[in-house]
Amino acid sequence: MTTLNDYFQNYLTNASATNKTEIAAVINVIDTITTVGKEITELLRKGALADIHGEAGAENVQGEQQKKLDVIANDLLLDALTANKYCAGVASEELDDATAANDSGELLVLFDPLDGSSNIDINMPTGTIFSILPYHNQGQSVSNNDFLQKGTDQLAAGYLLYGSSAMLAFTLSEILDINNDGVVMFSLNPSSGEFELVKKNIAIEENTKEYAINASNYRHWLPPMQQYIDEILAGSTGPRGKNFNTRWVAAMVGDVHRILCRGGIFLYPKDTKDPSKAGKLRLMYEANPMSLLIERAGGASTDAINRIMDYAPTDIHQRVAVVLGAKNEVLHVKHLHNL
C-alpha cells in the first residue's frame, strides 16, 4: 500500500537538483487541495445533517445560482491555498476575480470547488477540479492576467471525485513527471483517512462504444454535432456499424473519471441557445485541467475542431465547447466538423 505521502516522498527522492524545488512546490499544493478534499468528503457524507443542501441565495459571476456547498467548498479551498507559501494566487469558478495569496509564491491555482452542483442535494457524484500554473511575476501581487496561460503551460492538474468512494486523480506535466507515472489515481481509505495509490499510467482505449452528452440540447446543436449523434443512434445498421451506449453523470468530473477508468467520449458542444457563449464549460478550471489528464492518458481533447490546450485564454471565466476522450472518436467528431 502506497499512501499519497509515501508517493510524494518518493518523487522528491528521485527529483534532481534542477527540478526539486518546482516539484516540491507542486506536490505541496496538491497536498493542500487533497486535505480540503477530505473535509468536503466529510461534509458530503453527512449530507443534509451538515446543512450543506440547498441554495446559498447568491449568484456567481456566471449568473448561476450558488449552492451552499459551492460556497463552503470555495471558502475552504481559498483559505487553505492562500495560506500555502508556494501559492501566489488563486482563481475560482465562484469568484469574480483572482485572489492574491503570497507574493513570493511560484504557483497559481485555478479551481472549480464543487463541480456538478446539481448533484449535491440528490446524493450523486460531485468533484473538485484543479489546475496549477507557474507564476511569472514573483514579488508582485497577482492579477487576472497572470492566469491567462495556455493549457499546455499547466504544471499539474487533477480532480477529487466525491462518489461512492472519494478518489484523487492527478497528473504532473510531462517535464515534471520524472517517474513517468502519467495519470495516477488514489482512493481515500476511510479507516486510515489516507489516500492510497490504486492505479498509475492510466491509458484510454482509442476506440469506444460509450458516449456522454446532454441530448436535451439536440435541437440547439450545430449540424455536424447533430449528424454525429444521429450516426451513433443508428447503431449497428447505421454508418458507424456498431451499437453505442449513453452515460451522463451531470458532473464532468464523474464523466471524465469513467473515461479514465473504462474509456468513452464526453461532449459538451457549442449550441445556439446563447450565441455569445462558445460553450457551457469553463476553459481555465474545467476544460484545461481535464484536457491535461485526458491527453496524458493517451486521449484527445478538442472544442470539436481545435485542441483545447492550445487556446490562448482571454478571460479567467472563458467558456469553451468540449469534446474529449477516446482518440479515434474525437477525431471522427473533428472530421464531421471539417466536412
Q: Residue numbers of the site for ligand AFP (CB under 6 A)?
A: 64, 115-117, 214, 250-252, 268, 280-281
Query: Nearer to ligand AFP by C-beta: 81 or 251?
Result: 251
Q: In sequence order, what are the beta bridge partners of 317?
A: none
Q: What share of the chain is helix, strand, coil (3-state, %, to 5)?
A: 40, 25, 35
Residue 190 CB, shortest distance to ligand AFP, in Å, is 25
User: Which 3 state secondary structure label does DSSP give 40?
Assistant: helix
DSSP letter at 267 equals E
Residue 130 CB, shortest distance to ligand AFP, in Å, is 14
Residue 120 CB, shortest distance to ligand AFP, in Å, is 9
Residue count of the chain: 339
Contact 246, 212 (CB under 8 A): yes
Query: Nearer to ligand AFP by C-beta: 13 or 216?
Result: 216
Contact 317, 288 (CB under 8 A): no
Query: Nearer to ligand AFP by C-beta: 117 or 288?
Result: 117
Q: How many CB atoms lie within 10 A of CB 11?
A: 20
Q: Is the dihedral of CA 278, 281, 285, 288 positive or negative?
A: negative
Residue 172 CB, shortest distance to ligand AFP, in Å, is 24
Query: Nearer to ligand AFP by C-beta: 281 or 292?
Result: 281
CA-closest candidate to residue 266, choices 320, 307, 326? 326
Residue 100 CB, shortest distance to ligand AFP, in Å, is 24
Residue 159 CB, shortest distance to ligand AFP, in Å, is 10
Three-state SS string over 162-216 comes to: ECCCEEEEEEECCCCCCCCCCEEEEEEECCCCEEEEEECCCCCCCCCCEEECCHH
Query: Nearer to ligand AFP by C-beta: 74 or 102?
Result: 74
Residue 268 CB, shortest distance to ligand AFP, in Å, is 6
Query: Nearer to ligand AFP by C-beta: 11 or 170?
Result: 170
Q: How many CB atoms lie within 10 A of CB 203?
A: 13
Query: Nearer to ligand AFP by C-beta: 55 or 103?
Result: 55
Angle at 180 (CA atoms; ends 176, 181), nearest 5 degrees: 105
Residue 286 CB, shortest distance to ligand AFP, in Å, is 6
Contact 131, 284 (CB under 8 A): yes
Q: How many CB atoms lie within 10 A of CB 249?
A: 21
Query: Nearer to ligand AFP by C-beta: 113 or 134?
Result: 113
